[in-house]
Amino acid sequence: MAIMKSLLTQLRRPANARPATARVDDARLDIVSRLPFELHIFILSLLGPNDVDAGLSACCHWRTIWLSDEIWPKLARRWFPNLEDYIRKAAVSDADMGEMFRRTLHKVQRRMSGRFASALHHELTLESERFFTLSKSVPVQEGGVHSYEDVDGLEIGPAGPITRSRRFMMYDNGRIAWWPEAYPLPCLAVVDDLRTRKRRAYLFPDHKDEKRGYKTAMSNKLLLIGRGKTLHAWHLDSDQHASVEAPEEFVRCTAEGETVILVTKNACLFAWKFGQELEYIDTTGCYDKGPVGIAQPYDFLSGQYITSYNVGSRLWGTGILLDFIISPIEDNVFFVITYTPAPVRELRIDEIRNGQIAETYGLDQSEWSDLMEDPVDFTNLRWEKVDSYGGYCLMQAVSQTPDITRDPACPPRSSILVSVCFNIYTKSFTLSHYHHRDGFKNQSVSQIRNNRITASDTDDPRGLLLTLRPCRSTSVPHDKPIPTPFYTMAPSGRDSLLRLQRVPSDSDEWDADFVLDTSLLFGPISIDGITNGHLPIPGVKRLVGDDDFLVLVVHQSYIVWSFGNEIPGNAADAGRSRWRKLIR
């Protein structure tokens, strides 16, 4: 078995490598392919996800056996407890299930390894479009911007538009949404597509120079901008535009695919599918309606800020926190989430199917009371996806572990981040908690993905990102290499893209799966600067992404790491690359 694992280690391919395909004239089978089915089961029981991922890419015969209906569900239950339910619901046919499992396994492994295929450091600016090209597919009368000079209130200089209050807003599916002038022109939005290098600019129709009250959201299909009772939506694939009027002013909108939920100022709920009619959602039995505001960003009792940059909703009368999830693969299925703060401290999820409450799921404070020290409570309820198969982080809190804990891995009085997650397919809750050697501080950022947390190390002058495991890791196992892989970036020679460069490191001071060095943002750091200097990234603001991209936003610039080579170089570079291959 050691020989088998060694072979699979050698067969591990780059993130963008294609799986092997069978040749018509290849009738011979290797020794592993000729083994009885029972021995394949035995071999797979001794291999890790990295090994199986390598084997699936290396040999088409292994892939046929390992992705059979008898094997892939066993692997999914072992490594990704929620994945099987998602695949069975989302697959078009039984034949697609094994391939869906393979793609998910490959994406998760390349993200968890930290071995990015390419990276990009870019400024949020309109002054130069060397990387992104402005698309003119959206008609001007429908809010499309074809020339920045046509935008009233946007200052134009000799080199192009001058923007002073640029602000990152949202990320979804390889697209970055930002506002060139967030305060003077909140009606102007820009969406940059990392996969196509297209830039789309949108202007809220008939905005009347209003500067307040805009509500925004983005999904993998739609960009939403609303104000008052009016919501405008632009389809990011087809470049179509649609709008809808709510019966009363809405205070929040959220989207999944082409489906949108509107929350009015009195907590009434409406569903809208792009281009169709608005539908009322009956939430009787979920919560008592009343005025809706935003959650408190600061807990005065415990002295902590909320850990999410997305502030959730709150019923003013009762203080109950509200959130809503739209099923990505099932029509007319929504989840209404409520959290009743202290002293009750109860989390409740109502599943609504076709207008009726189908099931209710609950979690009370007894599940996390011995993880956090009183009087810390969850002060914000706003979901963030934690994987690609139905996992959502609902709320987080930073605390200290009590003097006595149920988990011996948690040192008493240590800094801890507690995350409450829920999977909408298995209907199961997960409590994950993470420790950081220097604690989770207000100026740091973090993101949970695939049961790991990527966090900024704000006390390290190199501006490092660390990927850490939870204290009790029950899913997505990952063989931790020693020493910890330390990756930085170097010019790739392809446009402005950067390539992976591993830096030798003999120490294991971080106790992390891998470390990403972001100091390229401010140029090289000297050893003296590392030892005696100050943090070169004083304002880390956002850390977002999925299995394909990881995006670190620092003020008005960002670094994006692509784990599957989804960021294309320019056409000229691609042509030169093909000629080099022909010459060789």
In this prediction, residue 217 carries a pLDDT of: 96
In this prediction, residue 262 carries a pLDDT of: 98
- Beta-bridged to residue 569, according to DSSP, are none
- For the beta carbon of residue 203, count every other beta carbon within 10 angstroms: 22
In this prediction, residue 526 carries a pLDDT of: 37
In this prediction, residue 372 carries a pLDDT of: 77
CA-to-CA dists, residue 77 to 327, 421, 475, angstroms:
22, 18, 9
Which residue shows structure tokens 């407890």? 81
Q: 3-state DSSP helix/strand/coil percent for the chain, to nearest 5?
A: 20, 35, 50
DSSP state of 229: T
Per-residue confidence in pLDDT tens, the chain, 584 aa: 555 555 455 445 554 555 555 444 445 677 888 888 889 999 999 999 989 999 998 888 899 999 999 999 999 999 998 899 999 998 888 878 999 999 999 999 999 888 899 999 999 999 777 789 999 999 999 999 999 999 999 998 887 888 888 999 999 999 999 999 998 999 999 999 999 999 999 999 988 888 888 999 999 999 999 999 999 999 999 999 999 999 999 999 999 999 999 999 999 999 999 999 999 999 999 999 999 988 865 544 444 455 556 788 999 999 999 999 999 999 999 999 999 988 899 999 999 999 999 999 999 888 887 777 776 788 889 999 999 999 999 998 887 777 766 666 677 777 788 899 999 999 999 988 887 655 455 557 789 999 898 887 655 555 688 888 887 643 444 455 667 888 988 888 777 888 888 887 755 666 788 888 887 654 443 333 333 333 334 444 789 999 999 999 888 889 999 988 778 876 544 444 444 443 33
Joined together, the tokens standing for residue 349 give: 């999820």
Confidence (pTM): 0.87
Overall fold of domain 123-370: Methylamine Dehydrogenase; Chain H (2.130.10)
Joined together, the tokens standing for residue 498 give: 């950067």
CA-to-CA dists, residue 62 to 4, 59, 97, 137, angstroms:
13, 5, 16, 45
Pairwise CA distance, residues 81 & 83, whole Å: 6
Which residue shows structure tokens 């298995």? 426
Handedness of CA 184, 189, 193, 199 (dihedral sign): negative
In this prediction, residue 216 carries a pLDDT of: 95
In this prediction, residue 460 carries a pLDDT of: 54
Phi, psi of 190 (to 5 degrees): -125, 135
In this prediction, residue 418 carries a pLDDT of: 87
Q: Taking the domains of the chain in order of start, what are their residue ranges? A: 2-113, 123-370, 486-562
In this prediction, residue 510 carries a pLDDT of: 66
Please name which of 474, 472, 559 lies closest in space to residue 516, comparing C-alpha atoms.
559
Amino acid at 410: C
